[in-house]
Amino acid sequence: MKTDLDGLLTRLRNEPGHPGLIGLEEAVFQRIAALPQVSAASQLRFGVVAAFGAVLLGIASNGFTPRAEASVTLSPFGPSNPLAPSTLLVGSQ
């Protein structure tokens, strides 16, 4: 099935490239190559600092949480089941 979009893409493919784009790829690669490179030692140092910070953040986030209270066990035949029909039908008395 040929749609209008197919025709437009075919025309776009057959068009010559814009003259302003000639040499653009080479210029981008030259600018990337001109960027200052980071040494392996500083990469290792940054990695160690990041790992140490992650460990400290994990300890801090775990250390300041409130203690979990003992959960109420729900037994279907227990005497104090808060979800028993008799307690749900009584309401808040």
Task: Give per-residue pLDDT as tens, 58-92.
Answer: 988 887 767 766 666 666 666 666 666 666 666 65
pLDDT digits (tens, 9 = 90+) for 18-56: 888 889 999 999 999 999 888 999 999 999 999 999 999
Q: Are 35 and 44 in contact (CB under 8 A)?
A: no
Residue 68 CA to residue 9 CA, distance in Å, equals 61
Q: Are 7 and 13 in contact (CB under 8 A)?
A: no
Instruction: Tell me the whole-structure pTM to 2 decimals.
Output: 0.39
